[in-house]
Chain A
């Protein structure tokens, strides 16, 4: 089986500072990988390098494209990479307003990706927008409301719908539950888990919340100071942490 994404020795420096360094892993179709670590550990830098938002200083990011097979996304031309990012890839931002167009209705937000890949039939665009709003539990009568009229949790769900409407194969998520209260988080996680399983998505989730990766991720990568310090199956890493930092991380979770 060909890995969907092969990451080889990716490194990103900010001047003399290390953003992330020597990161390598394979992600297989249908697999969800979590990246955890404290603030400043380089997890968001890594995610942005993988998703093409930042240009890494070294390494390869090989994606198994639908048409041409495995290709290094870093040496691709920009139009190709941007095409990937609106078809096969999706990116869920921590703050929904970064990933949404706040001045455009919910339906328009969901429809944008469809129109970006050439959909030109209003009725079809609208019905798939409504379908997707339903899937993320947003009522049909909110389709013409702007995201500014939505709660934080709804905005985040809308962002997810907007990203998944073109049927991507790989989803990047940067703290998808950050800033939401726990009950809303729980619903969102439930929804995400359902969608990931149902659509057979591969996903890379960056978070500092261990509960999120426990629920969603098959595999876990722990980062500290730009380096990967431990990898393994989620349950294995969380239940039997080997590295000192991971042990600290696991023991720091507040118990209720």
Chain B
């Protein structure tokens, strides 16, 4: 046997995952259990996201894979290759041209449209897990909407750090009902979650799928006297001068030299192609790194 079924998984498995996805979309923020499969990659590399992508892909799709915003890191490259080989779909690095985007830890800067799907890789789907280790208890808390504990975590943040120090995987409440872990995206990305695209979350090891339909109401939890603030480095991108994008801090030498660059590589590239240039940037050349 040399050929894989389209997108690696067999049709029965994809059907099972699609059922979980549909249920997740019908109950936004609710964690739907599913029979996660062994994938040809280790847990923690996005096995949940890959299964959701495999179940959602159609041959006409154009796929983009990002890891921490970048198209060219190991995780992104290997997952993109995986689907190129097993599904034969076209791939792209351009956010606007992609119909399905699998992401780890970021939402692209460019606003997504109604004809796009964003698939997240989720390590720990249960937002209450670190406060309440018992699964039976957390399920009950979701069922009965007992979410006081989530604020205990934020309270602890303020009492220890003077402000809500949670900067990623910042808990949100969906449609006034379920409290959800948005996967480890920076809280800078939280306000983008009420978007036109469908958002699907897959946790392979924990065997959970959840979803947000388009234009879902997603509210970041906070206190009245300590409101939610999306934060980013107080800087502009050193390559493309963008002031509105999420930045990575990169150490460039042993003498304390550093630069801030867009974590979304495609966004940065497009801006440089359009002629923007940051403090440490060089003029853009097609095909150059």
Contact = CB atoms under 8 A, between A and B. Distances in A.
B160 interface: yes
Contacts of B146: 82, 116
Interface stretch (A46-54, A89-97, A107-115, A246-254): A107-115
A101 interface: yes
Interface in A190-206: none
Given A82-B144, A122-B158, A104 B152 contact: yes
B160 A115 contact: no
A144 B159 contact: yes
B60 interface: no
A107 B159 contact: yes
Contacts of A78: 144
A15 interface: no
Interface string A107-138: 11001110111101111011000000000000
B159 A115 contact: no
Contacts of A144: 159-160
Main secondary structure of the interface of A (DSSP, over half): helix
Interface string B142-182: 00101011011001101110000000000000000000000
Interface residues on B, range: 10 to 19
B165 to A, nearest CB: 13
Contacts, number: 54
Given A82-B146, A121-B223, A111 B160 contact: no
A120 B224 contact: yes
A120 B152 contact: no
Contacts of A117: 148
A69 interface: no
B226 interface: yes
B24 to A, nearest CB: 24
A118 B148 CA distance: 7
Interface in B117-161: 131, 144, 146, 148-149, 151-152, 155-156, 158-160
A231 B152 CA distance: 42
Given A121-B224, A122-B158, A122-B225, A108 B144 contact: no
A65 interface: no
B144 A125 contact: no
A185 interface: no
A111 B155 contact: yes
Interface of B: 131, 144, 146, 148-149, 151-152, 155-156, 158-160, 223-226
Interface of A: 78-79, 82, 101, 103-105, 107-108, 111-113, 115-118, 120-123, 125-126, 143-144
16 contacts: A79-B144, A101-B131, A101-B152, A105-B159, A107-B155, A107-B159, A108-B156, A111-B152, A112-B152, A115-B149, A115-B151, A115-B155, A116-B149, A120-B151, A122-B226, A126-B155
